[in-house]
Amino acid sequence: MDFYKMTDAERQILINQYEILNQGNNNYQKHIDYLKSGNIYLFVRLLDSFPTIISKEDSKLAMDILSLHYILLTEGEKHQIPVDDLLFDFNHDSLYCNFIEDVINSNEFPNYKFKVLNSHGSKKIEHHKKQIKYFK
Give me the residue spans of the domains in the chain: 3-48, 56-135
Percent of the chain with pLDDT over 70: 66
pLDDT of 79 higher than 90: no
More confidently predicted of 135 and 56: 56
pLDDT band per the 50, 70, 90 thresholds, residue 72: confident
Burial class (CB in 10 A: 0-12, 13-18, 19+), 99: buried
The four Cα atoms 52, 56, 57, 59 give a dihedral, to 10 degrees, of: 70
What's the chain look like in SS3? CCHHHCCHHHHHHHHHHHHHHCCCCCCCHHHHHHHHHCCHHHHHHHHHCCCCCCCHHHHHHHHHHHHHHHHHHHCHHHHCCCHHHHCECCCCCHHHHHHHHHHHHCCCCCCCCCCCCECCCCCCHHHHHHHHHHHC
More confidently predicted of 26 and 8: 8
Question: Model-level pTM?
Answer: 0.53
| 111-134 pLDDT tens trace | 665 544 555 555 567 777 777 776
**What pLDDT is recorded for position 116?**
47
**What pLDDT is recorded for position 31?**
93
Backbone angles phi, psi at 107, to 5 degrees: 70, 25
